[in-house]
Amino acid sequence: MLSNFTAAVLLAFALFTCFYINQICTHNTRLVRSVHATQNKTTAHERLVSADPVRAQSSVVETTRVKLKTTNETDTSRDDKCTIAPESRFDCGRDKLLSQTECEERGCCYAPLPGSAGPPWCFYPSLYPGYKMGPFTPTTRGQAATLTRDTPSYLPRDISTLQLEVIQEAAGCLRLTLKDPSSQRYEVQLPVDVPPNRSDAQDALYTAEYQSEPFGFVVRRKSNGRVIMNTTVAPLLYADQYLQLSTALASSLVSGLGEHYTPLVLDLNWTSLTLWNRDMAPHADANLYGSHPFYMVQEEDGLAHGVFLLNSNAIEVMLQPTPALTWVAIGGILDMLIFLGPDPQSVVRQYLQVIGYPMMPPYWSLGFHLCRWGYTTANTTRHVAQRMHDAKFPMDVQWNDLDYAEKRRVFTFDRWRFADLPEMVQEFHKRGMKYILILDPGISSTSPPGTYPPFDDGVKRDVFIKNATGHILIGKVWPGPTAFPDFTNPETRLWWEDCIRGFHSKVPVDGLWIDMNEPSSFVQGSVEGCPDTDLENPPFTPRVIGGQLNSKTLCMSAQQKLSTHYNLHNMYGLTEASATHSALMKIRGKRPFVLSRSSFPGIGRFSGVWTGDVRSDWEQLRYSIPAVLQFSLFGVPLVGADICGFEGNTSEELCVRWMQLGAFYPFMRNHNDKPNAPQEPYVFGQKAQAAMRSALNLRYSLLPFLYTLFHHAHSSAETVARPLFMEFPSDPNSQTIDRQFLWGSSLLISPVLEQGAVELAAYLPPGTWYSLHDGRPFYSKGQYLLLSAPLDTINVHVREGHIIPQQEPALTTTASRRNPFFLTAALSAGGWARGDLFWDDGESLDTFETGNYCYIIFTAGQSQVVSDPIRLNGALDGLVLGGLRVFGVPSPPLYVLANGDKVRDFTYRTDTKVLTVSGLALPMTKGFTVQWAL
């Protein structure tokens, strides 16, 4: 036996050794962390190495090796590696629930937090083993490096070698892809190529650094050194059906990752968002109709950046209060684009340069639309449109739900109830109205052979999705058993166009409403079920409604031309929208109108979107605003919610408030479900009708302004309905507001969203804001003001320095487009303002691209308003300026001149300081000057 003295010496030596090793590990760990927190102080021998994102020169990656966890490591070192603040833990058991033993077998830390529902109990230690990065080598697009891992991860079918490619797409856009070099995996091919304007590294708005082992990268904003992505916080995992990447976030102000029932700024308190398109009425904690793997982060100082994961597989995104985020995709590759802004609007523009700028909608589509499931006959539909007209409600488009179809089969119409549907549509057209009906993708498969051409012809042309055995997959939708077109097949697009052309030759619809295109099915997978495979039951399934990927949709093993439905499901609506847009363009020769329920990045090029089956209640009214604003970020400006609600009975007050808010949705449609009480505007009391009529007339008067906003969205990726933080990024009070919103940069909409309210606290960002109603000024330092809001009122304010082009409203846009224009000029403190008008025939294709349009700039200053026609094409011929309102005129004018001639019809209100000039008839095609003498 050893003497007590010898034992004590050995024990002390052992403790000292453990302490020394622990200090080395701790020092290295801190070195990594300190690099993250300091600006560009990385040197070659540290764990993070900097790599030039453009210049294709080999970069040697050197590392200071840190001894990683082994089974005989001391408890002290283990405890240190596991000493991580609960909010900074990254879940090691994301793929399944683990016991303590299973957790520790993975080399992870186990530290229960009883009573805390958020942080994981099993989490990664610092510097968890992962991939090792080799040196960079040049590629045609940037540079590449190989990642390898010595031992497999805990995931099935782990991929041990990866290829990293780093591409500087533009000065403000960095792209990183991680692929399996030995096996071709499914990759999303968007129809838009990123513009090849790759710039020199010196111009880049970012720097990128790489940790070689375990692999991770850090992206900083070059201007201030702020870390905007840091993936070294948790390991990269890459298996056949499980791809995981975590990053720290620059702030807790994160928006995007739709489509979900959430506020505009997401809750980071251990929340999970699943991206998997599903026919599901909007409610909390559910995957809804669309998937948009894009988020924007508001940084400090008014800066912002965005991140897009180009992946169409099922994705779960975990948000935690670190702040941090973890992506888990169950297929495809990791293809990540980082947009540096530097401001929020630039982030959206950079994102849209990748996914495509939105289409230009026809002018009439910005009018009011009316729909209901339950207009059971053509005469019922006619009667609705007539009652709207008789009650003097502006309306442009009458819709029909599936009531029109024979046995609910698309491309047919019922020969009894809708026998004169073609004549009804012609009647609408003669009255200056348009007509739209629903078109579901499911094609009835049970009609007797030779009686239903869409199915018979589709079988001959091999256009339908197949099951795993190569037979047509049959699901079940409204007409019963149905087949589903495969829109990734070029032949299907031609067949779809032929079907639409044949139907349009009988019923000349003006647009198509593509519903049920997640795709939705009333049976799980197919009428025959689905095979028991890893596609149907992957090792990890994100949290989806129904618990399985094939719940209420097709089998994941279903075969499409491009790949399996497992890979393509989230893109079904996008591919159908593209095919429908193309067909309508060729058949009608005019600007198409398509409205889709399902969505994926890029759908704004082809379609508008509505937010699905919202419920008639006040909460859903409130949540419709962030829903609309999110789609603005996603490049889908033509968006709205079903006004007054689709599910359940509305109330008169709710419907009035919803019509007022809906007057400022970019897309305005009242839609109702079959069993509910009617909610057409004319069914309510006279006071309610007057309030709704007022809201509709206000919208119609603003359509020239709204149309101009859509032009800027189409031509330069600006937003139409705009969150306050995008226009006022440096205003901390604007960061999370989603009960108010802007149209463009100049109109602030503050709706009533609470039952019984007759006033509301509205936030006015710093500056002068004028009531659009009467020009009353509000001088704000960035504060909430209590505004009167009786039932007949929605508060709208014009921002100083802006001119709004308007037009006298009418019952249709066909009529209103012929009416006199008028201007509302909101002067700044210095007496200046500016505005513009884009105008064309409202429906021709590519008017901006071919120069076939008018564009006028309006400026106010030095006591005059001047118009400057920059481009003219005849579209404004015969149209005149009938008057203008000038807000903020400091004193009564002595006289007013229009093009040098004295004007008799003008008034000035000393209480509001508003000058109103009327009785003008100045041609819009010629420059004009209206001046006043003070």
| Catalytic residue positions, numbered | 515, 518
User: What residues form DSSP beta bridges with 823?
Assistant: 805, 884
Tabulate helix, strand, coil % of the chain (nearest 5).
25, 25, 50
Please state, as a whole number, how many other Cβ atoms lie within 10 Å of the Cβ of residue 490.
11
Buried b or exposed e, range 422-460, using 16+ CB within 10 angstroms: eebbebbeeebbbbbbbbbbbbbbebeeeebebbeebee
702 vs 918: CA distance, rounded Å: 18
Where does residue 605 rank: exposed (0-12), middle (13-18), buried (19+ CB within 10 A)?
A: buried
Nearest to 74 by CA among 127, 30, 117, 16: 16
- Residue 144 contacts residue 164 (beta carbons within 8 Å): yes
Secondary element (H or E) of residue 337: strand 334-339
Buried b or exposed e, range 521-538, using 16+ CB within 10 angstroms: bebbbbbeebeeeebbeb
Strands (E), 30-138: 48-50, 109-110, 122-123, 132-133, 137-138
Residues 6 or more apart whose Cβ sits within 8 Å of residue 914: 774, 775, 885, 886, 887, 889, 908
559 vs 561: CA distance, rounded Å: 7
Q: Tell me which amino acid residue 186 is.
A: Y
Secondary element (H or E) of residue 6: helix 4-37
Instruction: Tell me if the bond preceding 422 is cis, omega within 30° of 0.
Output: no
| DSSP-assigned states of every residue in 706-726 | HHHHHHHHHHH---SEE-HHH
Instruction: Please give the C-alpha separations between residue 693 and each of 259, 318, 686, 824, in angstroms, as whole numbers.
Output: 32, 45, 10, 21
158 vs 411: CA distance, rounded Å: 47
Residue given tokens 């949709």 in the structure block: 553
Dig out the tokens for 888 from the structure: 């903020």
Residues 6 or more apart whose Cβ sits within 8 Å of residue 16: none
- Residue 630 contacts residue 351 (beta carbons within 8 Å): no
268 vs 291: CA distance, rounded Å: 19
- Residue 32 contacts residue 210 (beta carbons within 8 Å): no
**Count of all residues that appear for the chain in the document:** 934
User: What residues form DSSP beta bridges with 16?
Assistant: none
292 vs 277: CA distance, rounded Å: 10
Nearest to 667 by CA among 701, 695, 702, 643: 643
Kindly report the CA angle at 926 between 925 and 928, in degrees rounded to 5?
130
User: What residues form DSSP beta bridges with 682?
Assistant: none
Dig out the tokens for 589 from the structure: 């020769």
Residue given tokens 């209420």 in the structure block: 552
Strands 668-670 and 721-722: unpaired
Dig out the tokens for 294 from the structure: 């894009």
| DSSP-assigned states of every residue in 341-395 | -SSHHHHHHHHHHHH-PPPPPPGGGGSEEE--TT--SHHHHHHHHHHHHHTT---
Instruction: Please give the C-alpha separations between residue 159 and each of 254, 296, 550, 867, in angstroms, as whole numbers.
Output: 31, 30, 26, 64
| DSSP-assigned states of every residue in 629-653 | HHHHHTT--SEE-EET-SBS---HH
Q: If you ran DSSP here, which 8-state letter would residue 551 be given? A: T
659 vs 882: CA distance, rounded Å: 28
